[in-house]
Structure 1
Amino acid sequence: MLEELLIHKPEDPIQFMIEHLKQHNDDAPRICILGPPASGKTTMVTQHLHVVVLYAADTTLIERNSGKRLDPLTEEVYHTTFDWPSDVQIQQRLVKPDLSEEEMSKQLLEYHRNFPGVFQIYQKILRSINADQPCVDVISQALTYVQTQHRSAAPFTPRILFCGPPGSGKSLQAALIAQKYGIVNICCGQLLKEAVADKTKLGELVKPYIDNGYPVPDNMVMKILERRLNAPDCMTKGWVLRGFPRDIEQAERLQKACIIPNRVFFFNLPYESIIERLSQRRIDPVTGERYHTTLRPAPTPKIQARLKQNPKDKEDNIEKRVDTHHRNVRDLQEFYEDAFYVNADQDPYPIFEFIESCIIKPLPCKKIKCF
């Protein structure tokens, strides 16, 4: 919203924000988090109509602000006490934000002067939480408060995660689910490529890894993924994600960011079927059309002659990717204990019907923990 204000510079910013909020679905979660600067508002992620107010001593807030350091390349914020980066290169390029102690004190004074009026408006749905404690405790208290409201067992804002070996049909099923339910179809690998193509700051950092075929560091992937999953269309319509997480560390990063799927599916496919599906895939470099030498051969000899094989579909590379998946999948299955398991060695539409039946089935209520 702040970005929209800076871009459009409306004459009446309050009315502009009201109209901006009205654009979202009326059934979408609406949360208001209030608090003085540096109280931790930006780290709070909740899911229902509530107003959460964070408070802390002014001296604590000023101390937090004075220790902040900004990475101008990634826009990541670090703190000299709490989470100083171990990478020396990152340390060397960190800069102190522009907000001085004097300006911080002015903002706090203005906040204390204006807040009583805000309190009167929201007092019936307002909860105050002491922000002068570990972040995990603040988030836990906020989530506990948010989850006290009654929730319907009917489907709402699907957040679906597909995990499985290469060639198990995750992309096709994601497309079918997204089309039927109108949710956002997100492939982590495609997001990284789009960031590079858009020449964003993070995209420039990601580009060398993609160009050289190296894994992109998890912190960069998470930065891009968080921005996409927190976009208005994902928040209101829901999403289906594939390509991340691939291991337990990545799953824990998702949970730490409070990106928590409410449906998780593990696709199971025998190694022989994976090889059969992937090693015979071909692509037409002229049209971009995909073919399969057995299941979907090229329609003409001319097209057949120009088909190319993606290096990642060579049998040696497939074996490496499958081995990586099998090394990590057991930990992921234990992490997502309420997951559903899909027999991916069958036609796509029975698989789709099974996934759909699991999506509309209400899950047992349980508390969600964010680190």
Structure 2
Amino acid sequence: MDATAKPLRIPPQMAVYAEEHRIFDILQNMVQNLLMDRPEEPIQYMIHHLRRNNDEVPRVVVLGPPASGKHTMAKLLSARLNATHLTPESFLSSDVSALVEEALSYKGKDQEIPDALWVRLIQERLSEVDCVKRGWVMEGFPRSREQGLLLQMSGTSPDHIVVLDAPDIVLLERNMGKRIDPGTGEIYHTTFDWPEDPEVQRNLVEPPGISEEETGKRLLEYQRNIPGILRAFPKIYKKINADQPCMDVFSQVLTFVLSKPRSLAPYTPRILLHGPPGSGRSLQAALLAQKYDIVNVSCGRILKEAAADQTKTGLLIQPYLESEQQVSDHLVLRILGDRLSRLDCATLGWVLHGFPRDAEQAALLADAGYTPNRIFFLDIPDDVAIERLSLRTTDPVSGERYHSLYRPAPRVEVHERLQQRPGDAEQKVQARLDTYHAGADDLEEFYQDVIHVNADQDPHTVCEFIESCVIRPRPQRPPEEPASA
């Protein structure tokens, strides 16, 4: 691409490809790992990193006081995400590791396992194939700020930390009802999770350390350590109230774990606003363009501008505009493509409205290389759309627009000279609504990642919701649940 040639054309496929395949994030992760591990052969290391293709696997820590449900949440998460469930006890289950033997020797002497040894055990376990390929959900570690800092220094850091929280009185009640199956290690509760199998019921025993006094000591130790742990991971944790039904807690946990941190990658907004006539697309596009300094691309306006400028394509579309007929798709795409390929759209981003209206037009737009990364459908009832449009009028002297209900003319003489646009007649508005509904479902199916917005409210409230969806990364799609046999 020659930067001296004018006009400068940046192929739209470049930005689409880079964003779709997360090129910037891949390079960022690779360089971060390279600087942490400092291999002797950096090129081979990077090749190996790319072949592993595990930047997107879950790396989650679940923390919480005794009886907060962290074991249950970790199990549910690992099953839902197809990740490896890890506990401090599982790190000591290997019988072939020298590190495990060293750790067990401390336990045999009733001594605390050193933090540095815990971290080496975790590194060893996380380097195994299942954790590398599928990711991991680690329960109950780190237990102190020192352990958290050692984890970071070793190059091991989670992407999300779930912190379950509940009142102490609730936790004490929960913990005293806990029962364990010594054969399987499964945990049950006398009130909330009692097994139906009588044989399992007979096998259950009361685990050690669940008395009120012992539970109180563990709660005190947890409350003493958790502020320091969270200071070690200030931007990746979320506290979730565990004093509610289990599946409600899990729903919030899963939503948080599937959220993505804001990427440092250069982000160029490519926004599509679609909605029925009267839904406020033009106003929302103007608000977004003004706030974020992106290009407001109104399909209807650029067609009129092309016709007024008497360009070659403008002369071809002029008969369509004069007869109020729909301009053919290939002519619209020619003018629209010329606008979207300009330097300001390629570098600043754009908000498009008025095109496409159906799946066929969307396919043409995609084939030309213009793919929006945020698609909003502005939804309003038909009767509201008719009310908004059929009751609006224009003052031919001042050009001001008024509405019989929401913004009546200030004076009688202004009211008497108001005129209604022919296209705002109720019959024509209804015909435009019918055309919109005919293509809306297929267009939504084409784009799939459509965000619906209730446009029947204050315009600034609508704009705030659109903004929140534009600036936040799109959440990851949860993996498909395995089909039941």
TM-score by length of 1: 0.60
Alpha-carbon displacement from aligned partner over 1:161-202 (angstroms, at most 9, x marks no partner): 000000011111111111110001111000100001100000
Hey, what does 1:175 align to over in structure 2? 286
Hey, what does 1:64 align to over in structure 2? none
Q: CA RMSD in A?
A: 2.6
For the pair 1:312 / 2:312, whether they are aligned, the reply is no
Aligned with 1:160: secondary structure? strand
The 8 Å contact of residues 46 and 146 in structure 1, kept in 2 or not, is answered as: no
2:364 partner amino acid: R
Percent identical pairs in the alignment equals 51
Aligned counterparts, 1:218-367, within 5 A:
218-363=329-474
The 8 Å contact of residues 18 and 24 in structure 2, kept in 1 or not, is answered as: no
For the pair 1:46 / 2:14, whether they are aligned, the reply is yes
Aligned with 1:267: secondary structure? strand
For the pair 1:17 / 2:4, whether they are aligned, the reply is yes
The 8 Å contact of residues 299 and 353 in structure 2, kept in 1 or not, is answered as: yes
Aligned counterparts, 1:88-237, within 5 A:
143=17, 147=21, 149-151=23-25, 153-154=263-264, 156-237=267-348
The 8 Å contact of residues 191 and 225 in structure 1, kept in 2 or not, is answered as: yes
The 8 Å contact of residues 274 and 354 in structure 2, kept in 1 or not, is answered as: yes
1:311 partner amino acid: P
Hey, what does 1:132 align to over in structure 2? none
Alpha-carbon displacement from aligned partner over 1:17-49 (angstroms, at most 9, x marks no partner): 18997xxxxxxxx97xxxxxxxxxx8x83228x
Alpha-carbon displacement from aligned partner over 1:295-333 (angstroms, at most 9, x marks no partner): 011111111111110111101001100011011100011
Q: Which is worse superposed, 147-156 or 342-351? A: 147-156
Aligned with 1:226: secondary structure? helix
TM-superposed deviation, 1:361: 1.2
The 8 Å contact of residues 178 and 185 in structure 1, kept in 2 or not, is answered as: yes
1:235 partner amino acid: A
Structure 1, unmatched stretches of 5+, are 2-13, 22-29, 32-41, 49-142, 367-371
Q: Distance in 2 between matches of 1:212 and 1:20?
A: 34
The 8 Å contact of residues 342 and 351 in structure 1, kept in 2 or not, is answered as: yes
Structure 2, unmatched stretches of 5+, are 26-261, 478-485
Q: Distance in 2 between matches of 1:324 and 1:285?
A: 29
The 8 Å contact of residues 285 and 351 in structure 2, kept in 1 or not, is answered as: yes
Q: Structure 1 residues 226, 365: CA separation in 2 closer, same or farther (over 3 Å shift)?
A: farther
Q: Distance in 1 between matches of 2:19 and 2:351?
A: 27
Q: Which is worse superposed, 243-252 or 152-161? A: 152-161
Q: Structure 1 residues 165, 287: CA separation in 2 closer, same or farther (over 3 Å shift)?
A: same
TM-superposed deviation, 1:238: 0.5
1:233 partner amino acid: D
Q: Distance in 2 between matches of 1:262 and 1:145?
A: 9
Question: What number of residue pairs does the alignment pair up?
Answer: 240
Aligned counterparts, 1:44-83, within 5 A:
45-47=13-15
Q: Distance in 2 between matches of 1:322 and 1:356?
A: 26
Q: Distance in 1 between matches of 2:392 and 2:23?
A: 50
TM-superposed deviation, 1:259: 0.2
Alpha-carbon displacement from aligned partner over 1:191-244 (angstroms, at most 9, x marks no partner): 100001100000000000000011100000000000000111111111000000
TM-superposed deviation, 1:157: 1.0
2:287 partner amino acid: L
Q: Structure 1 residues 283, 148: CA separation in 2 closer, same or farther (over 3 Å shift)?
A: closer
Q: Distance in 1 between matches of 2:19 and 2:275?
A: 35
Aligned with 1:285: secondary structure? coil
Q: Distance in 2 between matches of 1:314 and 1:184?
A: 31
Alpha-carbon displacement from aligned partner over 1:50-82 (angstroms, at most 9, x marks no partner): xxxxxxxxxxxxxxxxxxxxxxxxxxxxxxxxx
2:381 partner amino acid: P
Q: Distance in 2 between matches of 1:20 and 1:226?
A: 14
Hey, what does 2:227 align to over in structure 1? none
1:17 partner amino acid: T
1:156 partner amino acid: Y
Aligned with 2:23: secondary structure? coil
Aligned with 2:14: secondary structure? coil
Q: Which is worse superposed, 355-364 or 184-193? A: 355-364
2:23 partner amino acid: Q
1:245 partner amino acid: P
Aligned with 1:265: secondary structure? strand
Bigger radius of gyration, 1 or 2? 2
Q: Distance in 2 between matches of 1:276 and 1:227?
A: 36
